[in-house]
A and B are shown apart, each in its own frame.
Chain A
Amino acid sequence: MDNRIEIRLSGSGGQGLILGGIILAEAAINEGNNAIQSQSYGPEARGGASKAEVIISREEIDFPKVDKADLLLAMTEVAYKKYIKSLKEGGILIADSSINVDAEDKAYKVLQVPIIATAAEKLGKAMVANIIALGVIQQVTEVVNKESLEAAVLNRVPRGTEELNKTALSEGYMLASSTF
């Protein structure tokens, strides 16, 4: 892991991105690193643009906000268009397959995978798309290890959904490795 990695999770309200950010930060802390999670959202509870930010660092974190992200997760086209410019040159874009990614833009690495479709169709639960996305991020960045990520997921999800969420993580790992 680099000294400091900045991740932006973007999509629409209700997709569980803030929870995703919390889980990722907790996994990092469990490994003894520093982490900060913050978010911005509109006044509405669902819909609207939503983003969660996570900074993971071996050192103390001063400024708690993400400016140029090392990694951008985009779960909706609106979020992709809004935040792609805030991705660092040479950064990583993880985009859901439903998004029309500008193929011309080679300034960053693109990984496009069916996160939402896998959740809704293969697992039959659209709500675990955020957990699948965490699996993808883990495989691509290794910013946290699998054990601490799974522990952090299980610590945060409702009782009775543990197996579903473990499966979702595995699906994420597979989506990432099948593409890279």
Chain B
Amino acid sequence: MSDRKVKLMQGNEACVEGALAAGMKFYAGYPITPSTEVAELCAQKLPLIGGKFIQMEDEIAGMAAIIGSSLAGLKSMTATSGPGFSLKQENIGYAALAEVPCVIVDVQRAGPSTGLPTAPSQGDIMQAKWGTHGDHPVIALSPSSVKETFDLTVKCFNLAEKYRTPVLLMLDEVVGHMREKIEIPNPDEIEIYNRIKPQEGDDSYKAYRVEEKEIVPRMAAFGEGFHFHVTGLMHDEFGFPTNDTDTSDKLIRRIMAKVSDNVDDIVIYEEKYMADAEYVVLAYGGTARSAISAVKKAREMGIKVGLFRAVTIWPFPEKQIRELAGKVKKFIVPEMNLGQYVLEVERVVAGRAEVISLGKANGEVITPDEILSKIKEVL
């Protein structure tokens, strides 16, 4: 398409452009390196399209504000990094149980605590899954390029709207801060999903009742004439708190099933050089770029190695990895932490192939040569 705009763009900037393309109208947050550009650009751009930007007093308030705005009918986003991601967890759980669609961007930096503020990491991978207490559905995507950051931000909004759940965009400092070429698709090329609302004047509307053949309850917006209750307590179809174990059981199983019954719709992955591969490098986010570079070099040496890239990191691409485990000899899992995602790989591979961790958490990226050495070492 010749009329597409070709630009040099930063990952964080592409995230904002993707959010706007998806229909974001509200952003609230507390700026933190290396995600600050997301807030800055939302502050610049949202007022121009009639949207709202609020710099909140702290991280959890930023999360609370996007829950409120989403309940009022607006597509909403916040962005943060590790320290702020920790602080937001309580309200992420609230959004999960109250089924409030929203997008949370975590541009990961080296932790724990305030760690290395300007250095990359993938240390929040397990936190993305288990950061808030209780069983809760999790959808998390992790882009490897600036263009993919745009596309996946759109996808995050679509999934949030479709499954009425918070969706996490797990960026890392590498992709968030680098600038590269991107072709911005035209608006008519972008698929947008909007939440299903109740029929106007539907007197039988219950805020948490799922209509037949639908996945989630229809979502009225506050201010549109429907009266309903929203809570972080277990609740009935009206949204009112309950201690009833049967109602609670149904609710928790229903919200978990939104993701577990729709894994094929949610899981995105990429395979390269996998047709005859005996070894597989399994990577995600910024590290996947080092991984593909290493795989290409190894292929030049005649080593039968391929790349499996998890684009959706949660839910885990379980079916695909289980299948691979029967075909390949070894998995190498490079990640900018000391071995988190590798645990999930081990669980699913279940001893049918060897799983090798290549972790690094000192604020430096994992280089292609480091991955290549590991490949050669384990041959």
Contacts and interface: CB of A to CB of B under 8 A. Distances in A.
A64 B181 contact: no
Given A25-B8, A63-B289, A34 B180 contact: yes
A151 interface: no
Contacts of A41: 118
B180 A65 contact: no
Contacts of B179: 22, 25, 36-38
Given A35-B181, A38-B177, A63-B367, 16 more contacts: A26-B8, A29-B6, A29-B8, A29-B181, A34-B180, A35-B8, A36-B179, A37-B8, A38-B174, A40-B118, A62-B289, A63-B293, A64-B180, A64-B286, A65-B174, A67-B369
A29, A38, A43: residue with the most chain B Cβ atoms closer than 10 Å: A38
A62 B118 contact: no
Chain B's interface size range is 20 to 34
A167 interface: no
A42 interface: yes
Interface of B: 6-8, 33, 117-119, 174, 177-181, 286, 289-290, 292-293, 296, 365, 367-369
B296 A37 contact: no
Nearest to A39: B177
Interface in A34-56: 34-43
Contacts of A36: 178-180
A63 B292 CA distance: 8
B296 A62 contact: yes
How big is the A interface, by class? 20 to 34
A64 B286 CA distance: 9
20 contacts: A22-B179, A25-B180, A26-B8, A29-B6, A29-B8, A29-B181, A36-B178, A36-B180, A38-B178, A38-B179, A42-B118, A62-B296, A63-B289, A63-B293, A64-B174, A64-B178, A64-B286, A65-B174, A65-B367, A67-B369
Contacts of A37: 8, 178-180
Given A22-B179, A34-B180, A43-B118, A62 B8 contact: no
A61 interface: yes
B256 to A, nearest CB: 37
Contacts of A39: 177
Contacts of A63: 289-290, 293, 367-368
Across the A-B interface, the 8 shortest Cβ-Cβ residue pairs? A62-B293, A38-B178, A37-B179, A63-B293, A36-B180, A26-B8, A63-B368, A62-B292
Contacts of A65: 174, 365, 367
A37 B33 CA distance: 18
Contacts of B369: 67
Nearest to B295: A62
Contacts of A38: 174, 177-179
B218 to A, nearest CB: 43
A12 to B, nearest CB: 15
Nearest to B371: A63
Interface string A1-40: 0000000000000000000001001100100001111111
Of A22, A34, A64, A65, the most chain B CB neighbours within 10 A belong to A64
Interface string A52-79: 0000000001111101000000000000
Contacts of A64: 174, 178, 180, 286, 289
